[in-house]
Chains A and B, each alone.
Chain A
Amino acid sequence: MTTAAVTTLPAPRSQVAGNYLTQDRRIRSWLFTLDHKRIGVLYLATSLLAMLIGGLLAMVIRTQLLVPQGLIFHGHGAAAYAAYKHYNQIFTLHGIIMVFMVLIPIIPGALGNFVLPLMLGAKDVAFPRLNLMSFWLYVGGAVLAIASTVAGAVDTGWTFYTPFSIHTETYVVVMLLGIFLIGFSSIFTGLNFIVTIHKLRPPGMTWFRMPLFLWGIYATSIIQVAATPVVGVTLVLLCLERIMGIGIFNPALGGNPVLFQDFFWFYSHPAVYIMILPAMGIISEIVPVFSRKHIFGYSFIAMSSLAIALIGFLVWGHHMFVNGQSAELDAIFSFLTFLVAVPSAVKVFNWLATMYKGAIVLDTPMLYALSFLILFTIGGLTGVILGALATNVVLHDTYFVVGHFHLVMMGGTIIGFIGGLHYWWPKMFGRRYNETLARIACVLLFFGIAITFVPQLIVGAEGMPRRYAHYLPIYQPYMVASSIGAYLQLAAFILMTGYLVHSLVRGRKAPMNPWGGGSLEWTTASPPPHDNFAHPPVIGENYDPYDYRHLAYDPKIGGYVPTGVVDTYGAGKEA
């Protein structure tokens, strides 16, 4: 954008200025960049930092629960009250940071920002300035939220249920304002992506020729735009409740605390689909590429994303089965909860069918995709158990819920994100990572997640309530197993950090198309130039991102090259 922007040379700017990472090295050019790739990298760095904080808090929680009385926070009488309050603050922060600062923004913000315009063959997202503003709103909100913990960390749980959140003496208002800002960041990101997908698709790329990751992002964006404003106004109402005492949610002033739960879950249930849908999009990219086979049931996967987004809006009541909701509503919400499991299952079956008789390559991204399939399926099916009315009454607010949610989020969203990160890493930074170490880390993480959260399902079914700082001694074996799993995850992440940093510094140069992907981001250099493509890609009539027949592996460069026999991008291919 600086010297390159004013040059009159006929050569493409990118060749003049190097790639997007090196074209301007000043700090300012990063902090105020309008380049979607750089904004993606900024999101990646900040949300990984948030994940580090949230993860360390999780380690504190698991360490506390090693012994029945609590290893870190314990005591007698008044001391116990103070100690357990700290525990409440720890798990609240863990939840808030992981939900609002990691799970929601990490895939759309980091990978979506980087990949979406590249997949469309576009130069940028529709509104680059809005994109930058989204990022800074996110940072501002995160700083505000984390700063509030210094003043007095919130102890309400990440759900902020009233009336406790009205009365607690911790800094709820500052935290809520932080989340409010992050919410606006999320809205603007979603809005930007919707418009980009609508208006910047190249001629020839019809809706049903888009890579499925874009469908995932599109469905996510719809939820972000349509659900986040509602939580925004809810958080504002709760702030006003604390500041002015408006009484809407305060039973002492005639208000209705269950209304808060309705409002909150109207956003926060769809929000879990904000978290999982992009991860499903990533899996839909990885599975066909590493099976060397066309995706099975393209339109079913695409439409199931939309179905999840739409039905996901109608299931929030399943969080309130035991809160005095009427029996009729309970039954309807239970039915709709079963219904939303169908499109997820459609996806899983399509991925399996894609792998069937494929030439499966077990590179790191594919290992993550397989981990996703196993862990997400366990997590998803336990969700159906929770959606059933009778079992829900028993399992409500037990560790079963914790195990279910974490299997879906860690085993789904985070595994999907890390799979996507490994998949696009060579494209983002132009470097390869150590494949062996990466595979070891993946296996370690897979077993870490399984060992952490499956025992939680069992102990929850045995009756252990969630959010307790101490527990009955009979639960200890499960709790210790769970903590060991958590430490395994920590080890996996440390290993991952090690080889990824090594890759950044000394990794082998990555080729243009290391995995043999068929979507447009693999037709530009790794890392891409500032304007994404030296020459804007031309989409032929028969363009198909999941047709790999025209690509052949070239051992000399360690990547795939077009053979020229079948030109998927041109118009030469026979249908």
Chain B
Amino acid sequence: MTEIVSIGNQHELAQHHLAHHFDTPQQQFDAGKLGMWLFLSTELLLFSGLFCAYAVYRALHPEIFRYAGQYLDMPSGLGNTLILLTSGLTMALAVRFAQLGRRIGLVVCLFLTICGGLGFLGLHGYEYFTNYREKLLWGLDYNPSHGPHGQAIAPIRSLTRLTVRPLPAGVGGWASLKALGREGFIVSHSAIAPAASGPPGIAAGQRHTVRLAPYAQPANVQLFFSIYYLMTGLHSLHVLIGVILMTWLLFRAWRGDFSPRYYTPVDLIGLYWGIVDMIWMFLFPLLYLLH
């Protein structure tokens, strides 16, 4: 008897959250979930522009990425990865606890997830601060006093003094970059071909290998840092928004708003947090590991 009563109450609770234009709570939940997935796809597309810029510049100037990537602090990136992975676990558990109607478990897991988000922001903020002190910044503000391993910076002009030879036919891309080892770089010129050697206005790609002295600084290293700050900055903004949303969830969970019949916000923000996690899982190797 008591069980029936409690189900009745929960049913009322669900009805209370039912907007007038939906027929059933299930329809409303499905609509919310589809809407969230669509929104998350737009988030991925927002980042996709930056991933695309990364790919284009990496293909055009691999030497910049190879050189500048060494400046980044891999251990702190790894730390952040572990923090975010753990917070992803606690968020998934939070959704589960909400489904089961276990309020304390939900509150604890949300709290742990918030801690994870704040920890990530703290560690990342410290990294930004270190970079700022080293003047590892974007555009004209890129002006570090030493190279990635503490060595003196070879003047940019040294590039011109290096031996430049064309790539052997049929060799190109990453395979050849690997074959060259640490000192060699491929430089791809997309200069417009002279009118005599091709149809006017059509670019003919010319690929050359460049032998560099170890750690010599290539031109336009600042491009790497522009992309680094854009990608991690946009991601950190999303982490911050996630922390704010979860604080709101925590408040509502503490108040006892959620039940097995109504936990839509927890579920949707759980999805959001999953995407934020996932994007970092791509950012970390691309920026910190792949030199």
Tell whether A128 pairs with B21 under 8 Å between CB atoms, given A226-B45, A230-B49: yes
- Bound-state Cα–Cα, A187 to B203, Å: 36
Q: Are the C-beta atoms of B39 and A191 separated by less than 8 Å?
A: yes
Q: Does A233 contact B (CB under 8 A)?
A: yes
Q: Does A248 contact B (CB under 8 A)?
A: yes
- Bound-state Cα–Cα, A411 to B45, Å: 32
- Bound-state Cα–Cα, A231 to B48, Å: 11
- Bound-state Cα–Cα, A128 to B21, Å: 9
Q: Are the C-beta atoms of A246 and B230 separated by less than 8 Å?
A: yes
B80 CB to nearest A CB, Å: 22
User: CB within 8 Å of A: which of B127-149?
Assistant: 138-141
A441 partner residues in chain B, CB cutoff 8 A: none
- Bound-state Cα–Cα, A194 to B222, Å: 41
B140 partner residues in chain A, CB cutoff 8 A: 245, 253
A246 CB to nearest B CB, Å: 4
Q: Are the C-beta atoms of A126 and B53 separated by less than 8 Å?
A: no
- Bound-state Cα–Cα, A130 to B42, Å: 15
The winner among A187, A198, A200, A247 for most chain B CB atoms within 10 A is A247
Q: Are the C-beta atoms of B222 and A254 separated by less than 8 Å?
A: yes
Tell whether A393 pairs with B201 under 8 Å between CB atoms, given A229-B42, A246-B138, A247-B138: yes
Q: Does A263 contact B (CB under 8 A)?
A: yes
- Bound-state Cα–Cα, A312 to B19, Å: 36
A194 partner residues in chain B, CB cutoff 8 A: 34, 38
- Look across to chain B and name the residue whose beta carbon is closest to the beta carbon of A536: B23
- Bound-state Cα–Cα, A340 to B141, Å: 45
A325 partner residues in chain B, CB cutoff 8 A: 203
- Bound-state Cα–Cα, A253 to B224, Å: 12
Q: Does B158 contact A (CB under 8 A)?
A: no
Tell whether A128 pairs with B19 under 8 Å between CB atoms, given A244-B138, A247-B139, A247-B226: yes
Contact pattern, A 297-331, Cβ under 8 Å of B = 1, otherwise 0: 00000000000000000000000001011110010
Contact pattern, B 38-58, Cβ under 8 Å of A = 1, otherwise 0: 110111011111101100110
User: CB within 8 Å of B: which of A354-384?
Assistant: none
B39 partner residues in chain A, CB cutoff 8 A: 191
- Look across to chain B and name the residue whose beta carbon is closest to the beta carbon of A263: B49
A353 CB to nearest B CB, Å: 35
A198 partner residues in chain B, CB cutoff 8 A: 31, 34
Q: Are the C-beta atoms of A187 and B42 separated by less than 8 Å?
A: yes
- Bound-state Cα–Cα, A230 to B53, Å: 12
- Bound-state Cα–Cα, A361 to B223, Å: 63
Q: Does B9 contact A (CB under 8 A)?
A: no
A531 CB to nearest B CB, Å: 8
Q: Are the C-beta atoms of B138 and A245 separated by less than 8 Å?
A: yes
Interface residues on B, range: 35 or more
Q: Does B285 contact A (CB under 8 A)?
A: no
Contact pattern, A 519-554, Cβ under 8 Å of B = 1, otherwise 0: 000000000000100000000000000000000000
- Look across to chain B and name the residue whose beta carbon is closest to the beta carbon of A188: B39
A520 CB to nearest B CB, Å: 15
Q: Are the C-beta atoms of A229 and B20 separated by less than 8 Å?
A: no
Contact pattern, B 178-216, Cβ under 8 Å of A = 1, otherwise 0: 000000000000101000000101110100000000000
User: CB within 8 Å of A: which of B221-267?
Assistant: 222-223, 226-227, 229-230, 234
Q: Are the C-beta atoms of B38 and A199 separated by less than 8 Å?
A: no
Count residues on chain A whose CB falls below 8 Å from chain B CBs: 48
Contact pattern, A 126-145, Cβ under 8 Å of B = 1, otherwise 0: 11101000000000000000
Q: Are the C-beta atoms of A195 and B21 separated by less than 8 Å?
A: no
User: CB within 8 Å of B: which of A187-235?
Assistant: 187, 191-192, 194-196, 198-200, 225-230, 232-234
A334 CB to nearest B CB, Å: 13
Q: Are the C-beta atoms of A237 and B203 separated by less than 8 Å?
A: no
Q: Does A177 contact B (CB under 8 A)?
A: no
A552 CB to nearest B CB, Å: 33
B61 CB to nearest A CB, Å: 8
A117 partner residues in chain B, CB cutoff 8 A: 21
- Bound-state Cα–Cα, A326 to B204, Å: 7
- Bound-state Cα–Cα, A531 to B222, Å: 58
Q: Are the C-beta atoms of A191 and B35 separated by less than 8 Å?
A: yes
Q: Does A123 contact B (CB under 8 A)?
A: yes
B34 partner residues in chain A, CB cutoff 8 A: 194-195, 198-199
- Bound-state Cα–Cα, A256 to B61, Å: 11
Q: Does A240 contact B (CB under 8 A)?
A: yes
A499 CB to nearest B CB, Å: 35
A316 CB to nearest B CB, Å: 12
- Look across to chain B and name the residue whose beta carbon is closest to the beta carbon of A190: B38
- Bound-state Cα–Cα, A326 to B191, Å: 11
Q: Are the C-beta atoms of A225 and B223 separated by less than 8 Å?
A: no
- Look across to chain A and name the residue whose beta carbon is closest to the beta carbon of B225: A246
Q: Are the C-beta atoms of A229 and B60 separated by less than 8 Å?
A: no
- Look across to chain A and name the residue whose beta carbon is closest to the beta carbon of B199: A327
Q: Are the C-beta atoms of B230 and A240 separated by less than 8 Å?
A: yes
- Bound-state Cα–Cα, A126 to B45, Å: 23
Q: Does B15 contact A (CB under 8 A)?
A: no
B42 partner residues in chain A, CB cutoff 8 A: 187, 191, 225-226, 228-229
Tell whether A254 pairs with B35 under 8 Å between CB atoms, given A233-B46, A327-B202: no
B199 partner residues in chain A, CB cutoff 8 A: 327
- Bound-state Cα–Cα, A322 to B201, Å: 6
Tell whether A237 pairs with B49 under 8 Å between CB atoms, given A128-B19, A246-B138, A259-B56: yes
- Look across to chain A and name the residue whose beta carbon is closest to the beta carbon of B49: A233
B192 partner residues in chain A, CB cutoff 8 A: 324
- Look across to chain A and name the residue whose beta carbon is closest to the beta carbon of B192: A324
Q: Are the C-beta atoms of A256 and B56 separated by less than 8 Å?
A: yes
Q: Does B30 contact A (CB under 8 A)?
A: yes
A245 partner residues in chain B, CB cutoff 8 A: 138-141
Q: Does A124 contact B (CB under 8 A)?
A: yes
B60 CB to nearest A CB, Å: 7
- Bound-state Cα–Cα, A32 to B139, Å: 44
B48 CB to nearest A CB, Å: 7
A126 partner residues in chain B, CB cutoff 8 A: 21, 31, 35
Q: Does A75 contact B (CB under 8 A)?
A: no
Q: Are the C-beta atoms of B49 and A127 separated by less than 8 Å?
A: no
Q: Does B152 contact A (CB under 8 A)?
A: no
- Look across to chain A and name the residue whose beta carbon is closest to the beta carbon of B45: A229
User: CB within 8 Å of A: which of B96-119?
Assistant: none
Ordered nearest first, which 6 A-B pairs have the shortest CB separation?
Answer: A254-B220, A233-B49, A229-B45, A245-B139, A123-B21, A124-B21
A and B contact pairs by CB, cutoff 8 A, 11 listed: A117-B21, A191-B38, A225-B42, A234-B49, A237-B53, A245-B138, A247-B138, A247-B139, A259-B56, A324-B190, A327-B199
Given contacts A229-B43, A253-B139, 6 further A-B contacts (CB under 8 A): A124-B20, A195-B34, A196-B31, A226-B42, A246-B139, A324-B190
